[in-house]
Amino acid sequence: MNDFNYAERVKKINPAISQDLIAKVRALRADGVEVIDFSDQGASPDVARQAAIQKINMSSGSSYSDTRGLSELRYEIARKMLIEQKIEVNPETEVLVTVGAKEAILSALLTLADHGDEVLVEDPGYLGFEPIIRLAGAKPIRVPLIKESGFRFPVEGLRHYITARTKVLLLCNPHNPGGYCLTKNELTEIGKIAKENGLTILVDEAYEHFVFDGRKHISLASLPGMESITITIQTMSKIFNMGGWRIGWAIGPTHLIKKMHLLHTHAITAPTTFSQSGAAAALSAGIAEGNQPIANIVERYEAQRDAMIEGLASIPGLSCHVPHGTFFVFPNISRFKAPPNGISDFLLKIGHVATVPGSAFGPNGSEHIRMVFKCDKATIQKGIARMADAFGKLEYQ
């Protein structure tokens, strides 16, 4: 029966395509099929695991932490921001530790946007953004990124999408799935437009460390006057490979963090205490996935990116821009005649290679697929060979 009276907010939410893909990959692997998804990473750092074990063996490890987050973690976050971005953050009033970056984004949107308000979001953009916006009761307004420039944000056209109902601009920098990194000039102009129109900017910086070719990640809040309108969202999930630990945080003006904290306290109370201890230890040590320094990991990922781009370029009919950052490539598959269930399903079924259809990230990504390059070069080459064989069975123009 389908006549149950569900809330409207649930009716507007579709299942996550990425989670559906993960389920398909698990099912194939359970049947003994070797599936390449290019996602192998080093384990969470030992220092984090040891600190979490130590904490859980203490009586305080089984108790709620301060609802703002453990004091030692908030102070490590503030120290990190000062070292990496020269941003002075008050760990007592300007930091909120959350259950991953998603909870930080949801809490921010529930704080900032009322029913019917508009939130500008990139197209293509992280597939979780639009559902979170809708859960908050707001309306996502897609801002198409410029494909011809590697999915650059259209700063010069931003004003066109702003209306009297626009409250928030939600950015991902570095960008998932396109891999573009906003420059200082672009961030400055975006901030200027936001201030002129009374907007708050949420910046998801989940991939802040993954920047290549000599670039440096720039936080919007580090630019003059921007800290007053910016909420910075970060996480332990990516460079530290601690996604399952569910630790993220929001950094912003005291008055905004105070209101977010109010929502967070009633909905969540606090993230897992011993997970927070592990996060604090990893930040303090500067040791990330596979017990490696962050700089070493980024250098390796850049080499893996180059191997992935080189491999994709060898497949006739396929094209791919070079991402500035993240660990994603977003190749264009529009020249191929897609089978009924799409290119991604075809590659999984025929080549046993896992990709995500670009349409999951918005209409502007529909001619693409998203792939990661977290694994070693040998696995990348093996996966590319399988893709080449599969694509060879398709017609292309």
In this structure, are 355 and 375 located in the same domain? yes
The answer to whether residue 1 is domain-embedded is: no
The answer to whether residue 56 is domain-embedded is: no
Which residue in 247, 234, 327, 293 sits closest to 47, CA to CA? 293
Domain of residue 237: give its range.
63-286
The answer to whether residue 23 is domain-embedded is: yes
Among 286, 311, 333, residue at a domain's last position:
286
DSSP letter assigned to residue 154: -
The answer to whether residue 5 is domain-embedded is: no
243 CB-contact burial (10 Å; exposed 0-12 / middle 13-18 / buried 19+): middle
CB 376 within 8 A of CB 40: yes
Q: Quote the CA–CA distance of 242 and 247 in Å, as a whole number.
A: 8
Max Cα-Cα span within the chain: 65
The answer to whether residue 209 is domain-embedded is: yes
Helix, strand, or coil here: 44? coil
Backbone angles phi, psi at 168, to 5 degrees: -140, 145
In this structure, are 298 and 278 located in the same domain? no
In this structure, are 297 and 273 located in the same domain? no
Q: Give CA separation, 165 vs 52, 134, 154, 334, 362, in Å.
A: 44, 15, 20, 35, 22
Identify the CATH number of the domain in which residue 184 sits.
3.40.640.10
Among 231, 266, 286, residue at a domain's last position:
286
For helices 100-112 and 254-267, give the axis angle rounded to 10 degrees.
Answer: 110
Identify the CATH number of the domain in which residue 355 sits.
3.90.1150.10
| Residue 11: per-residue pLDDT | 83
In this structure, are 240 and 107 located in the same domain? yes
| Residue 341: per-residue pLDDT | 78
| Residue 340: per-residue pLDDT | 72
Which residue in 298, 270, 305, 269 sits closest to 207, CA to CA? 298
Q: Quote the CA–CA distance of 186 and 192 in Å, as a whole number.
A: 10
In this structure, are 75 and 173 located in the same domain? yes
In this structure, are 350 and 269 located in the same domain? no
Backbone angles phi, psi at 364, to 5 degrees: -70, -10
Q: What is the mean pLDDT of the chain?
A: 96
> How many whole angstroms from its chain centre is CA 11?
24
Domain total for the chain?
2
Among 249, 271, 286, residue at a domain's last position:
286
The answer to whether residue 54 is domain-embedded is: no
Side chain identity at residue 223, one-letter code: L
- The pLDDT tens digits for 349-391 are 999 999 999 999 999 999 999 999 999 999 999 999 999 999 9
Q: Which residues are within 8 A (CB) of 355 and not within 5 positions of it... i.e. 6 or more apart?
A: 343, 344, 347, 348, 369, 370, 371
DSSP letter assigned to residue 368: B
In this structure, are 218 and 321 located in the same domain? no
| Residue 2: per-residue pLDDT | 63
In this structure, are 162 and 273 located in the same domain? yes
Q: Which residues are within 8 A (CB) of 6 and not within 5 positions of it... i.e. 6 or more apart?
A: none
Q: Quote the CA–CA distance of 253 and 251 in Å, as a whole number.
A: 7
In this structure, are 275 and 359 located in the same domain? no
CB 230 within 8 A of CB 221: yes
Helices (H), the chain: 8-11, 17-30, 46-56, 71-85, 100-112, 129-135, 184-196, 254-267, 273-285, 294-313, 343-346, 377-391
Q: Quote the CA–CA distance of 342 and 34 in Å, as a whole number.
A: 21
The answer to whether residue 25 is domain-embedded is: yes
The answer to whether residue 52 is domain-embedded is: no
In this structure, are 145 and 262 located in the same domain? yes
Pairing of the two strands 248-251 and 95-98: antiparallel
Q: Give CA separation, 336 vs 122, 300, 333, 383, in Å.
A: 26, 32, 6, 19
Q: Quote the CA–CA distance of 109 and 271 in Å, as a whole number.
A: 19
Q: Which two tokens stand for residue 97?
A: 């530790």
pTM, 2 dp:
0.95
| Residue 302: per-residue pLDDT | 98
In this structure, are 202 and 324 located in the same domain? no
Q: Give CA separation, 246 vs 113, 271, 350, in Å.
A: 25, 8, 34
Pairing of the two strands 118-123 and 139-144: parallel
Helix, strand, or coil here: 123? strand
Task: Name beta bridge partners: 293.
Answer: 287
In this structure, are 275 and 334 located in the same domain? no
Residues of the chain short of pLDDT 50, as ranges, are: 1
